[in-house]
Structure 1
Amino acid sequence: MTDLAILYEHPLWFEPLFAALDRRGVDFSRATPDGFWNPADQTAPGRVVFNRIAMSSFLRNDEHPIFDTMAMLDHWRRTGARVINGADVLAIDASKARQLSLIASLGLAIPETRVVHRAADVVAAAQTLRFPLVVKANIGGSGAGIIRFDSLDELRTAVADSGLPSSVDGVLLVQEYVPVRGGAITRIETLDRKFLYGIEVAGGGAFDLCPADACVVPGSGIKMAAVEPSQTLKDAAEAIARAVDLDVGGVEVMIDDRDGVARFYDINALSNFVAKPLETLGWDPHDRLVDYLIYRIGKAR
């Protein structure tokens, strides 16, 4: 058994992490969710298992590993492995509805939202909101599964023509469209439930604001810059991370241009960090992440 097993499915996203671990001489193995696992087997692939499965995995493979991974991580926890971003975290990551409920329970503002599991209920939900609005998949990734509607008639037509987005769990969110002040959102990354860094993300279209390395492609229009969030926003992000029991992850917030309210709208347990960190931040957060992983390995021995 290795000290550390990294569970992932994207072939490229975690090469910087692997390189950082190699530089520090950390004993680790690479694991994927493909193949099979035995629920009677009381061993895990590592003393510490670091979950890096992305919600956007369903975009790359119809036979995605999201729900299987929840069960597998829970199983490995039962065998005694220390799981980073474990099954409970993945369950929150896999449900925008649960994320918004958790955020609101902390007294933080969210976009006005209704949750449905039937297309037939979307129009009734929309009639309790202001237009324009968006209908979005409960499980999405990189802006997938979000459609804007500017009128009730337009929405009714989409329902009648089966033109709504779909979610792999069958759940949809009907949500007021929030005009973002300055056209930029703030992503606050946390490590061990504490503030790590903040970036401002702008451009790239209406809904696909994504700071991950894989989203930064020529012509994407996405622009990122380091930002120092207010202490209020930092405190809120840390409170969310503690409530989720989030080991590593990001929280996204936007300022509603209608009233100046900071509305938190996404918790992302897959942080593969900003592209070109030395250029954007002036330092590499992978070094801090490796420090944390070494600490967790020491606790697991």
Structure 2
Amino acid sequence: MKKVYIIHENSEWTVHLTKRLDELGVLYEEWHLDSGRLDLSKEPPEGVFYNRMSASSHTRGHRYAPEFTLQVLAWLETHNRKVVNGTRAIQLEVSKVQQYLELTKFGVQTPRTIAAVGKEQIIEAANEFEGTAFITKHNRAGKGLGVQLFQSLPALRGYVESPAFEEPVDGITLIQEYIQSPENYITRCEFIGGRFIYAVKVDTSEGFQLCPADACQIGDLFCPVGEVVEEKPKFEIIDQFSDLILRKYEKVLTENQIEVAGIEFIRNASGELFTYDINTNTNYNADAEAKAGKFGMLELAKFLQSELIKL
């Protein structure tokens, strides 16, 4: 019997989806690809395959999960199986360089960025931003890995040459212009089935490393979400959000065969919009959704159910 196959490496991020699939009576099976075997002589089962592999898998001890997932997705696509977020999605998930190139191709403005390998190259690249604030981040990131704000070149050199320096898992560090939001928040636009679902405002006053997953709120020190009771919520769904950028985002997703994603942007003091992240392993914040009465995992489960019915 055909079913939905969920490809991932972190059960804490799939439990809300499987709960919704259970509610809808949808048959599913989880493929945990932190390890495994792939017999190329065999055909895959029939069904809908949903890829939600994370770029940050190596922080949970699953260093090669994205690489293995890419091979599995290629195998599925070769056999013409229905794959939600296939090989192109995983390629963008693990490379912000490729994300920015793709966004630029479709007229989406991104912050000025230089990719560098090697500590001296990082420092030399930062010379291009002399006199202005800039940030560093990992090319293959997730959870805001490697994101640091610098006001000067000496400050960067001190960090790069110290034991605190975080070596990116793929060796590529990005040096990027710092976009200052006058109100200290970014906006994340959620898409399911390639269609815009809602936008959420994320408070950045406590730093850059923000993830909407409930698991992050429980005990991930690198994702400080909801750790204390606050008057102002960290995540807030924007009622009736509308912007012309959504058409461009949908075009980017369509052309890259990505059906489920969260895309993040920030506005500077002049109101200019800069897009800086495409997350194809998107999560949703339960508190914000309960307050707004909108539920991403329910919409995702319904979408996967509809794709299964089409088969």
Same fold (TM over 0.5): yes
- In structure 1, the partner of 2:254 is 242
- CA, structure 1 residues 204+8, in 2 after alignment: closer, same or farther (shift >3 Å)? farther
Query: How much identity, in percent, do the aligned residues show?
Result: 27
- CA, structure 1 residues 237+97, in 2 after alignment: closer, same or farther (shift >3 Å)? same
- In structure 2, the partner of 1:251 is 263
Task: Quote the offset at 1:275 in angstroms.
Answer: 1.9
| Deviates further, 181-190 or 285-294 | 285-294
- In structure 1, the partner of 2:284 is 273
The answer to whether the Cα contact below 8 Å between 2:196 and 2:246 also exists between their aligned partners in 1 is yes
Alpha-carbon distance between aligned partners in 2 of 1:96 and 1:215, rounded to the nearest angstrom: 22
Alpha-carbon distance between aligned partners in 1 of 2:42 and 2:94, rounded to the nearest angstrom: 26
Pairing 1:133–2:144 present: no
Alpha-carbon distance between aligned partners in 2 of 1:38 and 1:23, rounded to the nearest angstrom: 31
The correspondence of residues 146-165 of structure 1 with structure 2, limited to 5 A, is 146-161=147-162, 164-165=165-166
The letter for the 1-side match of 2:156 is: L
- In structure 1, the partner of 2:47 is 47
Task: Quote the offset at 1:187 in angstroms.
Answer: 0.4
The answer to whether the Cα contact below 8 Å between 2:135 and 2:178 also exists between their aligned partners in 1 is yes
Task: Quote the offset at 1:268 in angstroms.
Answer: 0.2
Alpha-carbon distance between aligned partners in 1 of 2:5 and 2:160, rounded to the nearest angstrom: 44
3-state SS of 2:103 partner: helix
The letter for the 2-side match of 1:212 is: A
| Deviates further, 158-167 or 77-86 | 158-167
Which one scores higher on RCO, CA 8 angstroms, separation ≥ 6? 2
- In structure 2, the partner of 1:73 is 73
Pairing 1:263–2:274 present: yes
The letter for the 1-side match of 2:48 is: V
- In structure 1, the partner of 2:227 is 219
3-state SS of 2:53 partner: coil
- CA, structure 1 residues 83+94, in 2 after alignment: closer, same or farther (shift >3 Å)? same
3-state SS of 1:83 partner: strand
The letter for the 2-side match of 1:239 is: K
The answer to whether the Cα contact below 8 Å between 2:107 and 2:248 also exists between their aligned partners in 1 is no
Task: Quote the offset at 1:137 in angstroms.
Answer: 0.7
The letter for the 2-side match of 1:214 is: A
CA RMSD of aligned residues (A): 2.1
Alpha-carbon distance between aligned partners in 2 of 1:119 and 1:78, rounded to the nearest angstrom: 40
The letter for the 2-side match of 1:219 is: E
3-state SS of 2:114 partner: strand
- CA, structure 1 residues 44+204, in 2 after alignment: closer, same or farther (shift >3 Å)? farther
- Per-residue CA deviation, residues 144-186 of structure 1 (Å, 9 max, x unaligned), is 2112222112223334446543211111100111112311110
- In structure 2, the partner of 1:31 is 31
- In structure 1, the partner of 2:184 is 183
The letter for the 1-side match of 2:305 is: I
Alpha-carbon distance between aligned partners in 1 of 2:213 and 2:163, rounded to the nearest angstrom: 31
The answer to whether the Cα contact below 8 Å between 1:277 and 1:285 also exists between their aligned partners in 2 is no
Task: Quote the offset at 1:62 in angstroms.
Answer: 5.3
Task: Quote the offset at 1:110 in angstroms.
Answer: 1.1
What is the total number of aligned residue pairs between the two structures?
Answer: 299
Alignment TM-score, normalising by the size of structure 1: 0.91
In structure 1, runs of 5+ residues without a counterpart are none
3-state SS of 2:157 partner: helix
In structure 2, runs of 5+ residues without a counterpart are 219-225
- Per-residue CA deviation, residues 109-164 of structure 1 (Å, 9 max, x unaligned), is 11111111222211221111243211111011111211222211222333444654
- Per-residue CA deviation, residues 6-48 of structure 1 (Å, 9 max, x unaligned), is 1122122222211111121112111111442224232225521
- Per-residue CA deviation, residues 218-251 of structure 1 (Å, 9 max, x unaligned), is 4267611111333213223323322332110110
